[in-house]
């Protein structure tokens, strides 16, 4: 099977600069201030629906990143003064005990603990003492980008590449491609490269070809 063109592209690491804030400008300001030490709170919890940018910000923090969905017991996690735990709601019993101890150690060491979950700590099915610790710091909800905000963002990214995206192309991307901004941004890079490779302008048939490459033998 031919490799999907996105797999051939260099992946841009998540950063604060390439995070599309949309309606989260205030949250982003507070978050960057917390990372810089403006706020004294040990813990910062980001919550919101899937695809709203939680993982992006955790990865952009520069903290040691652990995804509890893949490591629910937090095996091998110890001694970090700055720790980011994604999908904290997926911690198993051992992981909850471990994170409680890690929080206390991080607080003693003057470090920072960043977590993300679909809901705020008080609503998570975790140990009460852990919920209390996670809820003792800053808690912010990330708002999902609207389709208009996504359209504006990918149009601007295309413009930076001198790539003109007609409205029907933008609408097709939003309907048929993965709707998270990270993938949409990578698709703009792929589309730019594919138009140069094919020496053809951006059209719906060309976009459909690009999106179907993963199914091409």
Fold of 145-215: Helicase, Ruva Protein; domain 3 (1.10.8)
For the chain, where do the domains classified as CATH 1.10.8.60 start and end?
Answer: 145-215
pLDDT of residue 54: 96
The pTM of the full predicted model, rounded to 2 decimals, is 0.83
Percent of the chain with pLDDT over 70: 93
> From CA 101, how far away is CA 97, in angstroms rounded?
6
For the chain, where do the domains classified as CATH 3.40.50.300 start and end?
Answer: 22-141
92, 39, 42, 53: which is closest to 69 by C-alpha?
92
22-141 homologous superfamily: P-loop containing nucleotide triphosphate hydrolases (3.40.50.300)
> From CA 102, how far away is CA 129, in angstroms rounded?
13
> From CA 30, how far away is CA 165, in angstroms rounded?
34
**pLDDT tens-digit series, residues 158-209:** 988 889 899 999 999 999 888 788 788 888 988 998 898 889 999 999 999 9
pLDDT of residue 5: 52
Q: Within its chain, how far is the Cα of 175 from the centroid?
A: 20
5, 21, 81: which is closest to 56 by C-alpha?
21
Residue 48 pLDDT level (bands cut at 50, 70, 90): very high
pLDDT of residue 67: 98
What is the CA angle 128-131-135, rounded to 5? 140
């Amino acid at each position: 099977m031919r490799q999907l063109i996105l797999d051939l592209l260099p992946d841009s690491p998540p950063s604060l600069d390439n995070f599309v804030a949309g309606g989260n400008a205030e949250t982003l300001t507070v978050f960057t201030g917390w990372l810089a030490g403006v706020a004294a709170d040990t813990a910062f919890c980001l919550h919101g629906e899937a695809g709203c940018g939680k993982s992006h910000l955790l990865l952009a923090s520069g903290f040691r990143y652990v995804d509890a969905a893949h490591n629910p017991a937090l095996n091998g996690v110890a001694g970090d003064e700055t720790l980011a735990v994604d999908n904290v709601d997926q911690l198993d019993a051992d992981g909850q005990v471990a994170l409680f101890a890690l929080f206390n150690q991080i607080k003693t060491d003057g470090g920072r603990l960043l977590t993300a979950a679909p809901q705020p700590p008080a609503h998570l099915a975790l140990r009460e003492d852990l919920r209390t610790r996670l809820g003792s710091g800053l808690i912010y909800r990330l708002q999902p980008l609207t389709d208009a905000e996504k359209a504006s963002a990918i149009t601007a990214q295309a413009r930076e590449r001198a790539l003109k995206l007609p409205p029907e192309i933008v609408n097709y991307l939003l309907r048929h491609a993965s709707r998270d901004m990270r993938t949409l941004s990578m698709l703009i890079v792929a589309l730019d490269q594919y138009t140069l490779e094919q020496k053809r302008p951006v059209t719906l048939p060309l976009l459909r070809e690009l999106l179907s490459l993963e199914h091409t033998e």
